[in-house]
Structure 1
């Protein structure tokens, strides 16, 4: 994209011919659509469902594409085109543009390539107004995956879309023109992450580890003699006892690391994670492949919105996460001011807390 393209689009968006056309359709809207047989105020709300009513109005008003083309200049057709474009504008932030002179280009020959693969955007009347994502948002819509440098922004020529209702068969609907604004990369990444987290939360490796720690818990901690009955109630204060148990059981970081695979360490890690789960609704996750990282606890994916990310967070995921074995190990590295109960503090940032 170039500065030339941006200037061209600014010219098209502010063209006096476009301004006059928009003013005319706004003024004609109440009579052209409001007095139709489909005149119910709730139907013309500039939303997706209202396009179904617009579609039926156009199909019932004209018997064929030829009939439609002959009446393209009427108030009904022009206002219908304006309404379709306005729905795009209000729902997805597009803007009106048109070539400065009637009968010149419709934008398809510029260096944006915005018209490609977006449906009936190349209207027969090449100077017809169209709607397109503003140039300032071009990065929101990456180029096509075919390796070309074409502009990926969706674009719609409403007159072309109305005309296509008569040529593309019953499977074509005006509401479908809104699907173009779905940004495929972002939703796909979210869907992949959600699916990955479901797998990480429910896999044989994690299930076997959890079962082993639950079975070993009574002997590894409850029978340790380090605390009185009732100490291991999965409350925040019990983490102080867990901390002392670890610090007394190992003398150094190296000693702890050498014994990380023992039942006492693994059950201690499980217990720490379970405190998080029971107090703050986290869940266990780990990669299903062997030797691919220790289990950890994290706020479930469906609660992500409760923990907005920091502005400088590259992952854009503000959910607290705790790897219990790492926190136990850190007791020997961070000094006497570090405590296991501090691992609960990040949950206070949640909007639901």
Structure 2
């Protein structure tokens, strides 16, 4: 822990770099370092198990990058208790020229917490309780404030890619497009020439759609000519709806008048709080299936890019 006076928050280059990589760090912890560890759910119950994994690695430090990724996870769990935000302590820490710290909600009046030092303490004492005790101490501070203000809830700075994104009304253009696709879905099914039960929004139905798209658009020029037509527009909606129903993805839209990016202007998919920033374009997936990889199983492989429900 360290005093707030020396800790910097806001637009600090080192802090910005750390903050940006926190979602990827937590993802690596789940998918690479501790694969199949479903208990890594950012809950307090996960802290003893994380500490146990840390002790199993011991002084070997575990796989490359494990310590940094564990620091990111630990910090996010502690902020789930105490609110606050990431900060940067510029004081040298070993060979490092500073370190990320958790700065709890100012109402608690507690010092910043160094996940790096907590990890070092956990390795030193080998009790398996260091992380949980740190969280319990923060919870005590929260309850103390609540004795004076029963309505108090610590406020945490939002971490994109980690915290659930707040609900927002869809963009008017996207809302209109989705409404039109739903209204014309029955006629789109009829136009495919296949039984209605084929289109049940299952992953396997994507294979059927992939075959149809390849048959109808065998070359780039054909695809480009038909992109604004009802078949490909309906197919794009169908691909997105499978992702929405199977992977809890959501529709997303970037207004080209506000965003200078190739993503703007098309209906997109996102997974709030899971794959934020890793946008998917259903139309681009159809293009990949029809033009770029006509021999693969593109649409179902792209569906697996999303995290399971």
Q: TM-score, normalised by structure 1?
A: 0.41
Q: TM-score, normalised by structure 2?
A: 0.46
Larger radius of gyration: 1
